[in-house]
Amino acid sequence: MQSSSYEDLRSRLLSRAITCEAVVRYYLDRIESHRSDNIYITVFHESALERARALDRKLSEGGTPGKLFGMPMAIKDNIAIKGGRLTCASKILENYESVYDATAVLRLEQEDAVFLGKTNMDEFAMGSSNENSAFGNVPNPFDKTRVPGGSSGGSAAAVASGLAMVALGSDTGGSVRQPAGFCDIVGLKPTYGRISRYGLVAFASSFDQIGVLARNCDDAALVLGVLAGNDGRDATSSLHPVADYAAEMATVPVEGLKIGVPKEYFPESLNPDVSRMVKGKLSELRDQGAELVSITLPDSEYAIAAYYILVTAEASSNLARFDGARYGYRSETAEDLAAMYVNSRTEGFGREVKRRIMLGTYVLSAGYYDTYYKKAQQVRRVFQDRYREALEKVDVIAGPTSPFPPFGIGDKTENPLEMYLADVFTVPASIVGMPAVSVPLGFDSLNLPVGMHLICNFFEEGKLLGIARHIQRSL
């Protein structure tokens, strides 16, 4: 029943060798047998089957199948599906039900995708290990003592464990790419504005993007093609025309490809296995006719600092709406209005979310705004210039997705700074808003997945996925 690609599943569905219902039943059974992995927060047992049966009827009645006909998908639990629970893996939204659909969800539905359920994540997408979930950890599918990455840890584990064919995640600083790297799958964060954020619960609005987690680049491109495009409900969604990604991917040659290799992406501290595997792949590409260009991206060491100032500032403002009055959890212990706000937030938010609200409030406060927030905005601008300049000289910038392979559960929970460093290579593309992907490189000496990270210029998703596909195919 497992298909290695959607194309394969689709041809079996359209030739009626199998039914949508049988496929969905198979996935739901698998989800049930993997319950202890905690990958899904909510499973749509009934509605998924109902939907599958409706699709089967549509086909037998001669209806035209959509582009994603019968594709079994998982949705990160910070993306709204009308009438479904939307928790953001937070106690504060534990029983909250969405009253509308995200634009991304509507577009998938219009093309006949099937939603199996909502996946576990770090609370409000803040984290790199899925350990900040109010609903518990998710083990890495390749080593249950380790983390799957975060914050889209549930989505990555679902795809890697065969509990969904494709999953949506969200990526603010690496939350699609880093877990994809940790789970041996493809994770794409498109250009900022490529996919509507309407219905994605905001963490840091000028960084947040919905992204796609899939087993291969073709599936990712297909789903991106459905999701991409302007949306009147998101003022930051782009008017840039949507490309034919499959066609663009087919035109990317390895021969003559200029791959920028920044020395800053290979620091002394880089895990030796990760370094060896990424460099090995780069040499292979060179042997196939690509040109490796040494580049330098000065000031890369400020990426993490600038990122955590800017996203905490935005988060402190975005999360103000969770006040016990308008959404979700309300404390029962409060005696007056002020205490109701304070207690609801104190009891409803987890540790990391509170840390970020405090940090963000601090960097925006009157005395510190210029020193921290304004400075970080200036750094963001410098990064944009540097990456633009670099991509005038090369087609793509390559490096590792993460400085280390999946780490042990609990290893970094007491040291937030170390946890933040997990994003050191994914954060720059988020700061500049360029598209980036993590593509699997295989397994290290401990049999843990390692990913390679690629960044292209704005709206070059087709080219980006074309290069990624070469890398994945040559494995």
Residues tagged active-site: 76, 151, 175
Binding residue for ligand GLN, selected from 42, 175, 275, 401, defined by CB under 6 A:
175
Q: Which residue is nearest to ligand GLN (CB)?
A: 175
Of 278 and 353, CB closest to ligand GLN? 353
Cα 125 from Cα 418, distance rounded (Å): 17
| In the complex, minimum distance from the CB of residue 194 to ligand GLN, in angstroms, rounded to a whole number | 16
179 CB-side CA count, 13 A: 43
Composition of the chain by helix, strand, coil, percent to 5: 45, 15, 40
| In the complex, minimum distance from the CB of residue 195 to ligand GLN, in angstroms, rounded to a whole number | 14
Binding residue for ligand GLN, selected from 174, 187, 260, 440, defined by CB under 6 A:
174
Please list, in sequence order, all residues whose beta carbon lies within 8 angstroms of the beta carbon of residue 155, skipping any fewer than 6 positions away.
74, 75, 76, 119, 121, 164, 167, 168, 169, 176, 179, 213
Region binding ligand GLN by CB under 6 A among candidate stretches 123-131, 249-257, 382-390, 396-404:
123-131
| In the complex, minimum distance from the CB of residue 133 to ligand GLN, in angstroms, rounded to a whole number | 13
The reply on whether position 353 binds ligand GLN by CB under 6 A is no
The reply on whether position 316 binds ligand GLN by CB under 6 A is no
Of 210 and 396, CB closest to ligand GLN? 210
| In the complex, minimum distance from the CB of residue 77 to ligand GLN, in angstroms, rounded to a whole number | 13
Number of residues interacting with ligand GLN: please give it, by CB under 6 A. 14
Please list, in sequence order, all residues whose beta carbon lies within 8 angstroms of the beta carbon of residue 332, skipping any fewer than 6 positions away.
none
Residues present in the chain in total = 475
The reply on whether position 125 binds ligand GLN by CB under 6 A is yes
Please list, in sequence order, all residues whose beta carbon lies within 8 angstroms of the beta carbon of residue 350, skipping any fewer than 6 positions away.
90, 91, 123, 132, 134
Q: Which helix (H) or strand (E) holds 393?
A: helix 375-393
Of 184 and 314, CB closest to ligand GLN? 314
The reply on whether position 200 binds ligand GLN by CB under 6 A is no
| In the complex, minimum distance from the CB of residue 186 to ligand GLN, in angstroms, rounded to a whole number | 17
Of 44 and 383, CB closest to ligand GLN? 383
Q: Identify whether the C-beta of residue 151 lies closer than 8 Å to the C-beta of residue 187.
A: no
Binding residue for ligand GLN, selected from 13, 138, 227, 311, defined by CB under 6 A:
311
| In the complex, minimum distance from the CB of residue 177 to ligand GLN, in angstroms, rounded to a whole number | 8
Region binding ligand GLN by CB under 6 A among candidate stretches 83-91, 120-128, 192-200, 275-283:
120-128
| In the complex, minimum distance from the CB of residue 58 to ligand GLN, in angstroms, rounded to a whole number | 36
The gap from C-alpha 355 to its chain's centroid, in whole angstroms, comes to 22
The reply on whether position 151 binds ligand GLN by CB under 6 A is yes
Give the residue among 264, 241, 248 at the shortest CA–CA distance from 390.
Answer: 264
3-state SS, residue 60: helix
Region binding ligand GLN by CB under 6 A among candidate stretches 20-28, 121-129, 361-369, 398-406:
121-129
CB atoms within 10 A of CB 245: 23
Question: Where in 230-249 is the site for ligand GLN (CB under 6 A)?
Answer: none
Q: Which two tokens stand for residue 311?
A: 């996203």
Cα 453 from Cα 439, distance rounded (Å): 7
Of 343 and 426, CB closest to ligand GLN? 426
Sheet (strand 436-443) strand order = 40-43, 114-119, 72-76, 166-171, 209-214, 186-189, 436-443, 449-455, 396-400, 258-262, 291-295
The reply on whether position 202 binds ligand GLN by CB under 6 A is no
Region binding ligand GLN by CB under 6 A among candidate stretches 124-132, 294-302, 371-379, 437-445:
124-132
Region binding ligand GLN by CB under 6 A among candidate stretches 2-10, 164-172, 241-249, 463-471:
164-172
Q: Which two tokens stand for residue 113?
A: 């995708």
Q: DSSP secondary structure string, 289-309?
A: T-EEEEE--TTGGGHHHHHHH
Cα 183 from Cα 379, distance rounded (Å): 32
CA torsion 153→154→160→165, rounded to 10°?
A: -130
The reply on whether position 173 binds ligand GLN by CB under 6 A is yes
Please list, in sequence order, all residues whose beta carbon lies within 8 angstroms of the beta carbon of residue 255, skipping any fewer than 6 positions away.
288, 289, 290
**Residue given tokens 């401990």 in the structure block:** 446
Binding residue for ligand GLN, selected from 70, 117, 127, 154, defined by CB under 6 A:
127
Region binding ligand GLN by CB under 6 A among candidate stretches 82-90, 122-130, 336-344, 408-416:
122-130
Q: DSSP secondary structure string, 187-252?
A: EEE--TTSB--TTBPPSSTTT-EEEEEESSHHHHHHHHHHHBS--TT-TTS--SPPP-HHHHHHT-
Of 198 and 341, CB closest to ligand GLN? 198
Binding residue for ligand GLN, selected from 31, 55, 126, 304, defined by CB under 6 A:
126
The reply on whether position 406 binds ligand GLN by CB under 6 A is no
The reply on whether position 79 binds ligand GLN by CB under 6 A is no
| In the complex, minimum distance from the CB of residue 175 to ligand GLN, in angstroms, rounded to a whole number | 3
Q: CA quadruple 347, 349, 355, 361: dihedral positive or negative?
A: negative
| In the complex, minimum distance from the CB of residue 122 to ligand GLN, in angstroms, rounded to a whole number | 7
Residues within the interface to ligand GLN (CB under 6 A) = 125-128, 151, 170-175, 203, 311, 423
